[in-house]
Amino acid sequence: METILRSKNVLINDAFIPADIVIQGEFIKRVDEYGVNEVAVDLGDKKIAPGIVDLHSDAIEKEIEPRPNATFPVAFAVAELDKKLSMAGVTTMFHAIGFEDNPKKKRSIDLAKHQIEEIFNANKKHLGVDNFIHARFELSADEAVEPIKEVISKGMVKLVSLMDHSPGQGQFKSLESFQTYYGNYYGLNEEEIQTVVNKKMNKDEKKINDLISFVKEHNITLLSHDDDCIEKLDGLLNLGVQISEFPLDLEVAKYAVSKGIATGMGAPNIVRGGSQSGNIAAIELVREGVCKYLCSDYHPTSMLQAVYRMKEDANLDLALGFSMITSTPAIYANLDDRGVIAKDKRADIIVIDDTHIPKVVLTLKDGESIYNGIRGFKL
């Protein structure tokens, strides 16, 4: 059985053009000229784009614990977030699950494994969008090496990123900023903070290199996090890092791109007009052409809004903006079956009404409607 979607604004290659999309089963059978099919679902001038591909989001954490100490079961949180993702137009989600070493943080190693197992199993059984895993490894959490290798061995992980939240670099330029953050956010006293500092400043290089080698052996894309200097990037390049997430200044982002390292920034940074932690505004990297893709970081609904904000604030072509949340991240994640509207690609498709504040009004995953927000509309 075929489904044919018609619109005057279908994102094909690098432009919105009139077209008919012919869907059969899970895939796009072909893309026809506008109006050549006798029977089609006519969506007028609503925009049709590929489903959003999100390489990094820890939104599951807020779904599990929306208020401090008000927690919900992981399985329930995963199912509920899955529904919200479909409404946001995210058809491929990489949950960024943190393996860290602070016992008071909600990113414990045991919890990380539990979350990964729940997401992986639910994804096979009943979730609407593709829910994949991006494992985040804090370099000082050497006890996390074997657990991460275990979930990689089971085929549960598709991306791995290296994080270093030790004071004096990266996100925490000074010991004082580190102490303030950990004291206020995690409720640690001075002795507990010092224990964390000691741990983060004494990393087990042998175990780190062991994990990196394991990641490479399994052909998993390796990412870095919060890169703050060229020297650090050079070291990461030697380790095989292919993507730099959230570079902290323009010089670092430019250098990364010059060395063939992709750069990704957070969509909420674009939508809010700046970084919530005081780092560089992502729109500056967009203007300079050194932000290659966006991720939702912690707020999936920002993905679509960021595309329109980039057009408004950086005069970025709308089609190019959409590529930063669809085709480009799909390429970086080695997902060659999605991210574009083309023959034989997965029918992961979103329909957008941008008459007012842009919103997703229809989401198809593998050719099936998983969200329909058009009143009185039947596919």
Whether 64 and 43 map to the same domain: the answer is no
Task: Give the pLDDT confidence score for residue 189 in this predicted structure.
Answer: 66
Mean pLDDT of 73-97: 98
Whether 119 and 238 map to the same domain: the answer is yes
Task: Give the pLDDT confidence score for residue 141 in this predicted structure.
Answer: 86
The verdict on residue 255 lying in a domain is yes
Q: What's the CA gap between 83 and 366, in Å, rounded?
A: 16
Mean pLDDT of 140-149: 92
The verdict on residue 235 lying in a domain is yes
Whether 178 and 260 map to the same domain: the answer is yes
Task: Give the pLDDT confidence score for residue 48 in this predicted structure.
Answer: 98
> The domain containing residue 359 runs over which residues?
2-49+340-372
Is pLDDT above 90 for 194? no
Whether residue 272 contacts residue 239, with contact meaning beta carbons closer than 8 Å, is answered with: no
The verdict on residue 321 lying in a domain is yes
pLDDT range class, residue 205, cuts 50, 70, 90: confident
Whether 24 and 143 map to the same domain: the answer is no
Lowest mean pLDDT among 73-82, 233-242, 271-280: 271-280
Whether 201 and 190 map to the same domain: the answer is yes
Whether residue 270 contacts residue 290, with contact meaning beta carbons closer than 8 Å, is answered with: no
Task: Give the pLDDT confidence score for residue 190 in this predicted structure.
Answer: 67
Q: Residue 51 carries which DSSP code? A: P
Return the half-sphere exposure (C-beta side, CA atoms, 13 A cut-off) of residue 173.
Answer: 7
pLDDT range class, residue 255, cuts 50, 70, 90: very high
* CA distances from residue 286 to 67, 192, 226, 259, 352 in whole angstroms, order as listed: 33, 39, 17, 18, 23
Task: Give the pLDDT confidence score for residue 302 in this predicted structure.
Answer: 98
Mean pLDDT of 9-26: 97
Whether 135 and 36 map to the same domain: the answer is no
Q: What's the CA gap between 161 and 345, in Å, rounded?
A: 28
Q: Which residue has the higher pLDDT, 235 or 95?
A: 95
The verdict on residue 222 lying in a domain is yes
pLDDT range class, residue 165, cuts 50, 70, 90: low
Is pLDDT above 90 for 114? yes
Whether residue 54 contacts residue 293, with contact meaning beta carbons closer than 8 Å, is answered with: no
Whether 269 and 128 map to the same domain: the answer is yes
In what side-by-side order are the strands of the sheet with 52-57?
A: 52-57, 90-99, 130-138, 159-163, 221-225, 243-245, 262-266, 293-295
The verdict on residue 257 lying in a domain is yes
CATH number of the domain to which 13 belongs = 2.30.40.10
Whether 302 and 348 map to the same domain: the answer is no
Lowest mean pLDDT among 98-102, 321-325, 338-342, 351-355: 98-102
Mean pLDDT of 134-158: 95
Task: Give the pLDDT confidence score for residue 166 in this predicted structure.
Answer: 58
Lowest mean pLDDT among 51-55, 278-282, 307-311: 278-282
CATH number of the domain to which 101 belongs = 3.20.20.140
Q: What's the CA gap between 287 and 250, in Å, rounded?
A: 11
Find the DSSP H helices in the chain: 59-64, 74-88, 109-125, 145-153, 175-186, 190-201, 205-217, 230-239, 250-258, 267-272, 282-287, 302-314, 318-323, 327-332
Task: Give the pLDDT confidence score for residue 175 in this predicted structure.
Answer: 47
Lowest mean pLDDT among 5-9, 62-66, 177-181, 243-247: 177-181
Is pLDDT above 60 for 177? no
Whether 235 and 102 map to the same domain: the answer is yes
Whether 193 and 328 map to the same domain: the answer is yes
Q: What's the CA gap between 156 and 38, in Å, rounded?
A: 44
Q: What share of the chain is helix, strand, coil (3-state, %, to 5)?
A: 40, 25, 35
The verdict on residue 378 lying in a domain is no
Is pLDDT above 90 for 323? yes
Task: Give the pLDDT confidence score for residue 201 in this predicted structure.
Answer: 56
Q: What's the CA gap between 338 and 55, in Å, rounded?
A: 14
Q: Which residue has the higher pLDDT, 99 or 191?
A: 99
What are φ and ψ of residue 91, in 5° steps?
-100, -15
Q: What's the CA gap between 48 and 129, in Å, rounded?
A: 18
The verdict on residue 379 lying in a domain is no
Q: Look at the chain and report how many structural domains it folds into.
A: 2
The verdict on residue 118 lying in a domain is yes
Q: Residue 157 carries which DSSP code? A: -
Task: Give the pLDDT confidence score for residue 200 in this predicted structure.
Answer: 57
| Residue recorded with tokens 């784009």 | 49
**Token digits of residue 286:** 């967009």
Is pLDDT above 60 for 145? yes
Whether 174 and 56 map to the same domain: the answer is yes
Length of the chain: 379
Whether 306 and 345 map to the same domain: the answer is no
Whole-number average pLDDT of the chain:
91
Is pLDDT above 90 for 199? no
Tell me the sheet residues that pair with 359.
353
